[in-house]
Amino acid sequence: MGDAVELEVDGRTVRLSSPDKVFFPERGFTKLDLARYYIAVGPGILRALRDRPTTLERYPEGVAGENFFQKRAPKNMPDWIPTAHITFPSGRSADEMCPTEVGAVVWAAQFGTLTFHPWPVRRDDVDRPDELRIDLDPQPGTDYDDAVRAAHELRAVLDEFGGLRGFPKTSGGRGLHVFVPIEPRWTFTQVRRAAIAVGREMERRMPEQVTIKWWKEERGERIFLDYNQTARDRTIASAYSVRPRPHAPVSAPLRWEEVGVAHPQDFDLATMPARFAELGDVHADMDDHRYSLEALLDLARRDEHDHGLGDLPYPPEYPKMPGEPRRVQPSRARKQAPPTTP
């Protein structure tokens, strides 16, 4: 696997063992290629991760090997990488790493971390998100172009309800993510409620193209706006993260004028460094903005008061939440329903 190498990363020396270990056999990319990629896009991924509790998606033997998600900070983590204490819906808690310099990203790559999954909070306030994250997930029968059409309508919805500015990026797969920087004033529950309001408005505008139905059997050939990605402990791959697919795609930040012009396959471990060298981080000003959710929460209140539209199901691993409807898929609920009497 070659002798270990030492990489200088903004004044920090990071040791990389087995630098020639192949992580992406289809493309021949090695662990050293991965580390150099993260150095090349360092300011961008650090902007996405800075001070955020971050779960590591690790592939120690490369993309073809076994993987796992590491939530708790590794015991061998250097003391120059800070942590934050976070609580899961189960009531359990953990200390998660919070990158504050590019060296932390490269250190994680040394242990086979391909994708970084940051929480939408900062370590100084882990209970109040500072991002509203919208995940546009193509369902069977739909594709990236369908997600693009939904994203442009989403942009209009966000602007209409509070003058919100979303920052789009590819997921690294077939979907799109749109992140909105918000004031850290609201709880996870309130931010999720705002995301549901966005989804319902999108359904009204694009009923044949967009759905927020939680149960797959009800979604049809539509883009699923996954409101539960805003629930506590649900995370989305960060901008610039490498995704665990054979061709080493990356989650690429986009300018709005690129949405529908650029395609996910344009961005990978080999091509993104050149783009970054030319354009820099196209979301560099994201942290300069902080928007209010009041207009979306007003929309949620109107949905509840005028249309009787309350909460929606949480993910299966969550405890039963206050106000949540029955968490049973519709086909099973019909089978379980008692027969009606004449």
pLDDT for position 329: 85
For residue 215, what is the DSSP state? S
Q: 230-240: b or e for each residue (b if 16 or more CB lie within 10 Å)?
A: bbbbbbbbbbb
N-to-C CA span, the chain: 75
| d(C-alpha 74, C-alpha 129), whole Å | 24
Q: Is 60 helix (H, G, I), strand (E, B) or coil?
A: coil
| d(C-alpha 91, C-alpha 84), whole Å | 16
| d(C-alpha 229, C-alpha 241), whole Å | 17
Predicted confidence (pLDDT) at residue 226 exceeds the cutoff of 60: yes
List pLDDT tens digits, range 98-148: 999 999 999 999 999 999 999 999 999 999 999 999 999 999 999 999 999
pLDDT for position 339: 59
Nearest to 112 by CA among 185, 13, 23: 23
Q: 17-35: b or e for each residue (b if 16 or more CB lie within 10 Å)?
A: eebebbbbeebebbbbbbb
Predicted confidence (pLDDT) at residue 341 exceeds the cutoff of 60: no
Q: Indicate whether this model's pTM tops 0.75.
A: yes
Q: Is 146 helix (H, G, I), strand (E, B) or coil?
A: helix
Predicted confidence (pLDDT) at residue 8 exceeds the cutoff of 80: yes
Helix axes 188-205 and 144-160, enclosed angle (nearest 10): 110
List pLDDT tens digits, range 15-57: 999 999 999 999 999 999 999 999 999 999 999 999 999 999 9
Band (1; pLDDT cuts 50, 70, 90)? low
Query: What does DSSP say about strands 5-9 and 12-16: parallel, antiparallel, or unpaired?
Result: antiparallel
Residue 140 burial (CB < 10 Å; 0-12/13-18/19+)? exposed
| d(C-alpha 228, C-alpha 188), whole Å | 10
pLDDT for position 333: 76
What average pLDDT does the segment 183-189 reach? 98
**Token pair for residue 48?**
């996405």
- Alpha-helical (H) ranges within 63-187 are 102-110, 144-160
| d(C-alpha 243, C-alpha 133), whole Å | 18
What single string gives the DSSP state of each residue in 288-308? G--B--HHHHHHHHHHHHHH-
What single string gives the DSSP state of each residue in 74-127? PTT--TTS-EEEEE-TTS-EEEEE---SHHHHHHHHHTTEEEEEE-SSBTTBTT
